Chains A and B, each alone.
Chain A
Amino acid sequence: MRINMSHGSGGKASAELMNNIFGKHFSNSILNKMEDAAVLELHGRIACSTDSFVVTPIVYKGGDIGKLSVCGTVNDLLMMGAEPKYITAGFILEEGLKLSLLDNIVSSMARTAAAAGVVIIAGDTKVVEGKGGIYINTAGIGSIPEGREISAGNCDEGDVILLSGTLGDHHACILSARMGIDNNIMSDCAILNPIVNTLFKNGIKVKAMRDVTRGGLGTVLNEIADMSRCGIEIIEEALPARPEVRSFCDILGLDPLYMGNEGKMVAVIAAEDGEKALELMKKTAPGREAALIARVIIGKGVIMKTRLGGSRIVDVLYGEGLPRIC
């Protein structure tokens, strides 16, 4: 069975799709009311984020577009110090999409949402002509507990920067699949709640957090340096990356510094809490390969101290990271 235009008609086929797939996996007391809008009770400061997911292939090693669509929005909320509460999901389905595949994707979203402690409270489905593809938009809100002031503009000289794990896994996995390169590189797509929760629970002085997605670490650190009007010095030797990802990058002329992840973050921590924060991070599943990779310094932009003691400037990513010729 595949998606056809009648599934987007609003009639019986739409209702069946709703009950048999979305209702089955997403069922909860707010969504089940089936009103025109979800009604929520929230107090205090609210963080809100939205993101659209268009990844191909739809299913890849270590995840699928459904898991990714929840991780992406949940992680964005977490990076502001918010506790993610609710998300919405909008689907654009192309004619020809297998219903069994859609069922798997929706089920994957439901599992990831449950693990992240968020409830899917509203949704929408449209069907368009195409070749069996799927696009998902998620929007989420979370509440920010009293006293949390997280911003990329908060960093000061001496702060340390922790990276929660290896660089480039998701990007290398997707690119391998698209280019038909057979390897064992898995996407790192994951929710970052365990890391963020442990840092706050243990009173770590967190200044800023960012998830390392498109643009990679190089771009993220430049954004932090710009917003905090400071410099950042990366220690090359400290940067974690899997050997297979490094080799993949070498072959294609890509730099792990500019490769996207979907389950990694950087946290800027007050110097005195740096070591403790690193230990805590390493005790979590998504942070077990965490490392202290950089320091905030007086100055401007991002520089890297290289393995041999040289230094170089690390700029933002320009354009698309296309594989080179040889």
Chain B
Amino acid sequence: MDIEQIIQELKEYSGPELKIMEVCGTHTSSIFRSGIRSLISHKIKLISGPGCPVCVTPASYIDRCVDYSKREQHVLMTFGDMMKVPGMGGSLSCAKGEGAKVELMYSPLKVIEKAKENPDIVYIIAGVGFETTIPAYALTIEEAARQGIKNIRLLTALKLIMPALNWICENEDGIDGFICPGHVSVIIGSNAYELTAQRYEKPFVVAGFEPEHILAAIYDIVRQLRTKKHKGFYVHNLYKNAVRTEGNQKAQEIIDRCFEPGDAVWRGFGMIKDSGLYLKPEYADYDAGSKGLDSDIRLPESCRCGDVIIGRINPDECPMFGKACNPLTPYGPCMVSSEGACGIWHRNTN
């Protein structure tokens, strides 16, 4: 079936209203950039899920980052998206304006060189991310340990996607099917979704990031939901050139060597059991105090950040969207991050 036929069928869809969640922020961005919503029936609703690691990071984590950045002889290393996320005491961007030492990184491994060049400075790496980025943190810590480097610490808010998807399936009835996150699936494999798909009877489709891939995934989900010939639904992998059934086992081993699961707070969800990763006891010297950063910002009552992350409402249904909360003065992280649902909506709609 070629892409024109897929678009045609999705445009003419006239069955019951369907809600499909794209879990990954890169998918959300691609959906907007290619105008996919304008190509398909308005009866197919695309809901943006929790797949932006910055958006689900609680405020107390940001506060700890800010605190480190202001300490003497400390430098906080972070990915760019974290800079503007408001904590309870301001953002890293504000702290930098007040003289705090914050540097952008694109790979945590690069921090090793810095740490060797400046042995008197303690480098705190803000470790935020899902399975995709976690191996890089693990390799950094292993390398630091191997070389005996003592002036690197990891402040983690690392999260696992499956506990969050299970939480959504358990707590939210409304989602009919899921477009699985592409990059995370490379690591965890398409098999990771099987149990959830069978238990909650929902289709899970792994897709790449080109608009054609996403349209094919939507079509696959719609077809599964419409035919319902079989008991239960299937995990379909439409991104086979990158995602294997069993995932990247080497990356999984690297993660397992350094990290162990523990409870973690997700902004908008609350505490989810064993959904976070923390350094194992043998690497405890490299931890910057990552556990117990549970409390979240007191957002204004009208802020519906949590409902957006779960996919209960679209960003523009929040009363603060585009008004008090906008990309220049964001309240919630979903407006700050380039992968956050609110930020993406705001940039691409008016």
- A interface majority secondary structure: loop
Residue A308 is within 8 A (CB to CB) of chain B in the complex: yes
CB distance from B187 to the nearest CB of A (A): 11
State the CA gap A307–B212 with chains docked (Å): 10
A301 to B350, CA, bound (A): 9
B211→A307 contact, CB < 8 A: yes
Q: Is the CB of B128 within 8 A of A325?
A: yes
Q: B79 contacts A306, CB within 8 Å?
A: no
Q: Which of A181, A312, A313, A324 has a CB less than 8 Å from the CB of B337?
A: A324
Interface residues on A, range: 20 to 34
A319 near B53: Cβ-Cβ < 8 Å = no
Report whether A180 and B35 are in contact in the complex, using a CB–CB cutoff of 8 Å: no
30 sample A-B contacts, Cβ–Cβ < 8 Å, listed by A number: A181-B106, A251-B106, A252-B80, A252-B106, A304-B35, A306-B34, A306-B35, A308-B3, A308-B7, A308-B34, A308-B39, A308-B212, A310-B36, A310-B38, A312-B35, A313-B349, A314-B348, A315-B346, A315-B347, A318-B326, A318-B327, A318-B328, A324-B79, A324-B80, A325-B53, A325-B79, A325-B81, A325-B82, A325-B128, A326-B130
Q: Is the CB of B35 within 8 A of A310?
A: yes
| A322-B54 in contact (CB<8A) | no
- Are A323 and B104 in contact, with the CB atoms below 8 A? yes
Do residues A309 and B39 form an inter-chain contact, with CB atoms below 8 A?
yes
Does B153 make an interface contact (CB < 8 A)? no
- B residues in contact (CB < 8 Å) with A: 3, 7, 25-26, 29, 32-39, 52-54, 79-84, 104-106, 110, 128-130, 132-133, 183, 211-212, 215, 326-328, 337-339, 346-350
In the assembly, what is the distance between CA of A251 and CA of B209, in Å? 12
A180, A311, A318, A324: the one within 8 Å of B38 (CB) = A311
Q: CA of A199 to CA of B84 in the docked complex: distance in angstroms? A: 44
| CB atoms of B35 and A311 under 8 A apart | yes
- Cross-chain contact of B339 among A178, A301, A314, A325 (Cβ < 8 A): A325
* Inter-chain contacts of B38 with A (CB < 8 A): 310-312
Q: Give Cα A255 to B110, complex, Å.
A: 24
Residue of A nearest to B54 (CB): A325
Interface string of A225-267 (1 = CB under 8 A from B): 0000000000000000000000000011111000000000000
Determine the chain A residues whose CB is within 8 A of the CB of B337 once the complex forms.
324-325
Q: How far, in angstroms, from A277 to B36 measured CA to CA in the complex?
A: 34
State whether A307 and B34 are in contact (beta carbons under 8 Å apart), knowing that A180-B110, A323-B79, A325-B337 are contacts in the complex. Answer: yes
A115 close to chain B: CB less than 8 A: no
Whole-angstrom distance between the Cβ of A214 and the nearest chain B Cβ? 16
Q: How far is the CB of A267 from chain B (nearest CB, A)?
A: 25
Q: Which listed residue (A179, A322, A325) contacts B84, Cβ 8 A?
A: A322
What does the 1/0 interface line of A284-326 toward B look like (CB < 8 Å)? 0000000000000000010010111111111100110011111
